[in-house]
Structure 1
Amino acid sequence: MNQSKSHIVILPSVGISHLIPFVEFAKRLVSQHNNFHVTCIIPTNGPPPQIAKAIVEALPTTIDAIFLPPVSFDDLVANPLAPLTLTVSRSLSSIRNVLESLLSKTHVAAFLTNFFGIDSLDVVKELNIPSYIFFPSPATVLSLFLHLPKLDESLSSEIRYLPETMKIPGCIPIPAEDFPGGGTFQDRKGDSFKRFLHIGKRISSVEGIIVNSFTDMESGVIIALQDGAGANNPPVYPTGPLVQTGSSSEEDRSGCLRWLDNQPLGSVLYVSFGSGGTLSRAQLCELALGLEMSEQKFLWVVRRPNDESPSAAYLSDKSQFDPSDVLPSGFLERTEGQGLVVTSWVPQTQILSHGAIGGFLTHCGWNSTLECVVFGVPQIVWPLFAEQKMNALILVEDKKVALRPKANENGFVEREEIAKVVKELMEGEEGKRLGQRMGDLKEAAARALSKDGSSTASLSELASKWENVEAPKVE
């Protein structure tokens, strides 16, 4: 640890999809500003997954990583999402120990966490460390969070439900069904609204918010956020798109890259619902039949189906399984020359950057969205949970770089609709237009990260601020 450098501490919440953007931010910071050293504190609720270890092992020497002792949820068996939402709050004593140890050795200029780590801000405040939020979701969702306290105050206490459509500064109107949590978010007395209202109040008290987006991606929202900085909201620093870089240190065990090498240019649809997303068994089978019906080539990462929760893959068994146990009878045999089905971890950024990929059917997580932007891959969006419907709204209605299949009155997407949308993206005229617009967005992303780009300037402004922070002391 170099004591002459300003020290930055980052605390992602549990989960690989949260770790990656934090690490990429840290790598970008130390590569552009060599007077910083970063410590990444990683909360756990069990043994760290192999992919997390691989990411940590590949870090440069200017970034340290500390895995905290795992916390237990044996007392919360009935709460399947507890690991995602409560791991940080149950790790506060360990976080305090790490911070106090760092303060005894070095100058800590800033502490960054995300909205799932918001309880750690109390400890950070007690230690007099400047606190920041690293927001790994789009600026549109950040604007929604910051808008909620004002909206809540403006409504009569007798009005229980929010409007059917919400207009937040700089953003296209958001229908109720696209709010995080869907219709449950509308109920001001419900848990979803109360949780997000709490987040909105807490993040407005930090010294700055770093958002993983860039001006051309969400220009109206970012301008509105920056104009609103001051008395009510903290400064906002768009530094994206931050996506996983470099080749993975893990082998391509699935063989998907070798398979792609043998496919025609732009001919393959990549299908994945991320590290946490999954479908019901019936919808999984319908998707399979739709892909087969489309007659388009595909590379599909299949997760175990779950009829209870679309986010069940976060918590389910990650071991490999026989896909024939969950897919329609004979599907794998019939599509042997058309597609490749894998159930293991795959190197997604290497897949999306491969010349054979022509489109991505995605759950619309923000990491995957930005990876598509960086590599210029048009999308079919199939949002499942969290803020993914808002992300889909940005891509379909605002940026017009994605298609969205229509579900029936029961929320089920039928095979004919799937086949139609896949064919349109991969070989239709609308698919070509989407590809051209995504190509323009790819160029805009590259400009933002260039030497004189908007995101580079935003990071430099932040770094300059941190360089001038006096060393905090424990009271």
Structure 2
Amino acid sequence: MADEIWIVPFFGQGHLFPSMELCKHLASRNFKTVLVISSKLSSTVPLSLRQYPLVEINEISEAPPLEPSSQPLHSHHEHHSQIALGLKKLLSTRNHDQSSVRPLYAVVDMKMSWTFDIFNRYEVPAVSFFTSGACSAAVEYAMWKAHPLDVKAGETRLLPGLPEEMAITVSDLKRQIRFPTEPPPQTKFGPERHHPTNPGDKPPWVEAIEPCIGVMINTCDELEQPFIEYVSNKLGKPVWGVGPFLPEQYWKSAGSVFYDHKFRTNQKSNVSENEVNKWLDTKPSGSVLYISFGTVVGPSKEEYEMLAEALEASTRSFIWVVRANAGLSTGPSKPSQPDSEPEEAYFPYGLQTRVGNRGLIIRGWAPQLLILSHPSTGGFLSHCGWNSTVEAIGRGVPFLAWPIRGDQHSDAKLITSYLKVGYMISKDVSQTIKKENITRGIEKLLNDQEMKQRAVKLSAKFEHGFPTSSVAALDAFGDFIRHKGRET
């Protein structure tokens, strides 16, 4: 019987997608993998994974709250409570049923690190899984140790142990506090925030992962070798760079257009994947700017309006993915009152009519992998979330980086300073981004053929598929836990 590993993702597609791919990689190494998810995520898991050999989906039923809350903290707390109860029931049943197999190990999303206590109670060792990259973790740790808050204007401060390209400036410190917030609230499930509140603060994840026996990071040596090594040295635990976890067919289809709908659940959108592909087919190679800020964070309302004005004034073709309530609930300005905006407000109003076929505005879900793999796409204006970052790197698309919060700042610096495959939208993203920042950045990016060549050269590291260093790391992880399992 195959050794069994449980995988516990954080809610949200940016965490679920890498966990699903991890299941496949471990199953291919003859581990039975059990993906433990909330029943609310059931529809997001494709049939192909449910039918995958040695993969089991174990859903924890979540009842809707008795009183809907407008406070995210309350909804997260309720979610955690129900997941905790479900995990205890599953583990208790496995413990008392002699025909059941107790998991050999658990791989737990870093944002679910409060579940370590539950697994320890049932003597199941756990590994922490970082779905973001190694650079952000390394920079947060290094800034905590160096605490470079006295950096002066025009000065750069090296972070000991990290590449010189990651040296800190005043602008870097200001970026980290673009949207000042209160310290993270503490709950019985741990801190609700997982990145430092202020530059130089101790990263909350450092203590959170203390009970784990090792760390998996959704990255590879080909992109982040010095940062993986730094994190491993500082934590004193085994650290495996095992990603980036994108669909297997993505890695195998380099040089061709990749269709998202075959591997990701299609969600609500005003444009079909086929319509997006046909629109891109009408544009010259490398001529289209793709703009997407993900599903959780984005610029302020004022900045969305600046972006709309810049795109209208530009002569460049573009695809802009605009999420519901764009500009209404993020950024430094206060959210609009409920009666002052429609429930689902999209910016910009009327832009599609004004720009005609030069632009394609997608409201809702977008086939991002298709867009990034299409030869007409020449640049990516991105918030630099980690999944979006590696998806574009793998297809040789250079960046116009517009980070908003958390690890996005480190990802943006990795892209622009270390890997050198993009530009920052502004020298100081702690300030409101202006129309001229955007128009200048678009032209600079799409006119820079050397930048494009560097991006293509970087993507060539993956021309033979999933990173070779990550294959070796997954093999090493398998050997490690099997050896540890025999010891216990």
- TM-score scaled to structure 1, two decimals? 0.81
- The structure 2 residue matched to 1:88, chosen from 60, 70, 80, is 80
**Other-structure match for 1:14:** 11
**1:223 matched to 2:229:** yes
Distance 2:110 2:319 in 1: 33
Q: Structure 1 residue 183: deviation in Å?
A: 3.0
**Other-structure match for 1:403:** 423
- The structure 1 residue matched to 2:460, chosen from 443, 447, 453, is 443
Evaluate the alpha carbon distance shift between residue 306 and residue 112 of structure 1 in structure 2; reply closer, same or farther with a 3 A threshold.
same
Distance 1:310 1:397 in 2: 25
**Other-structure match for 1:253:** 272
In structure 1, the residue corresponding to 2:290 is in which secondary structure? strand
In structure 1, the residue corresponding to 2:46 is in which secondary structure? helix
Kept in 1, the 8 Å contact 2:4–2:105? The answer is yes
- The structure 2 residue matched to 1:29, chosen from 17, 26, 33, is 26
- The structure 2 residue matched to 1:336, chosen from 356, 364, 376, is 356
**Other-structure match for 1:158:** none
**Other-structure match for 2:285:** 265
Evaluate the alpha carbon distance shift between residue 146 and residue 42 of structure 1 in structure 2; reply closer, same or farther with a 3 A threshold.
farther
Cα deviations by residue, 1:55-103 (Å, 9 ceiling, x for unpaired): 7756613222223222666779463355457733552111122233345
- The structure 1 residue matched to 2:2, chosen from 2, 5, 9, is 5
Amino acid at match of 1:465: F
Evaluate the alpha carbon distance shift between residue 356 and residue 17 of structure 1 in structure 2; reply closer, same or farther with a 3 A threshold.
same
**Other-structure match for 1:466:** 481
**Other-structure match for 1:118:** 113
Distance 1:454 1:127 in 2: 33
Q: Structure 1 residue 393: deviation in Å?
A: 1.0
**1:326 matched to 2:347:** yes
What are the residue-to-residue correspondences of 1:274-289 with 2, within 5 Å?
274-289=294-309
**Other-structure match for 2:252:** none
**1:182 matched to 2:202:** no
**1:455 matched to 2:478:** no
**Other-structure match for 2:38:** 43
Distance 1:176 1:80 in 2: 32
**Other-structure match for 1:68:** 60
**Other-structure match for 1:234:** 237
Amino acid at match of 2:20: V
- The RMSD of aligned alpha carbons is 3.7
Amino acid at match of 1:366: W
Evaluate the alpha carbon distance shift between residue 322 and residue 89 of structure 1 in structure 2; reply closer, same or farther with a 3 A threshold.
closer
Distance 2:421 2:197 in 1: 30
Kept in 1, the 8 Å contact 2:105–2:126? The answer is yes
Amino acid at match of 2:167: P
- The structure 1 residue matched to 2:218, chosen from 206, 212, 218, is 212
Evaluate the alpha carbon distance shift between residue 53 and residue 278 of structure 1 in structure 2; reply closer, same or farther with a 3 A threshold.
same
Distance 1:432 1:306 in 2: 33
Cα deviations by residue, 1:104-154 (Å, 9 ceiling, x for unpaired): 4114221011221010000011111121011111112223455588x3xx9
**1:202 matched to 2:208:** yes
Kept in 1, the 8 Å contact 2:69–2:75? The answer is no
Kept in 1, the 8 Å contact 2:326–2:345? The answer is no
Evaluate the alpha carbon distance shift between residue 371 and residue 55 of structure 1 in structure 2; reply closer, same or farther with a 3 A threshold.
farther
Kept in 1, the 8 Å contact 2:107–2:127? The answer is yes
Amino acid at match of 2:161: P
Q: Structure 1 residue 184: deviation in Å?
A: 8.7
Evaluate the alpha carbon distance shift between residue 404 and residue 189 of structure 1 in structure 2; reply closer, same or farther with a 3 A threshold.
closer
Kept in 1, the 8 Å contact 2:175–2:429? The answer is no
Evaluate the alpha carbon distance shift between residue 196 and residue 177 of structure 1 in structure 2; reply closer, same or farther with a 3 A threshold.
farther
Amino acid at match of 2:472: A
In structure 2, the residue corresponding to 1:167 is in which secondary structure? coil
**Other-structure match for 1:294:** 314
Distance 1:59 1:146 in 2: 40
In structure 1, the residue corresponding to 2:445 is in which secondary structure? helix
- TM-score scaled to structure 2, two decimals? 0.79
Evaluate the alpha carbon distance shift between residue 360 and residue 193 of structure 1 in structure 2; reply closer, same or farther with a 3 A threshold.
closer
Amino acid at match of 2:327: N
**Other-structure match for 1:379:** 399
Distance 2:377 2:479 in 1: 40
**Other-structure match for 2:438:** 418
Q: Structure 1 residue 357: deviation in Å?
A: 1.2
Cα deviations by residue, 1:319-343 (Å, 9 ceiling, x for unpaired): xx99996315x42222112011110
Distance 1:337 1:405 in 2: 25
In structure 1, the residue corresponding to 2:327 is in which secondary structure? coil
Q: Which runs of 5+ in 1 are unaligned?
A: 156-160
Q: Structure 1 residue 224: deviation in Å?
A: 2.6
Q: How many residues align?
A: 441
Evaluate the alpha carbon distance shift between residue 368 and residue 102 of structure 1 in structure 2; reply closer, same or farther with a 3 A threshold.
farther
Distance 2:171 2:60 in 1: 37
Amino acid at match of 1:143: A
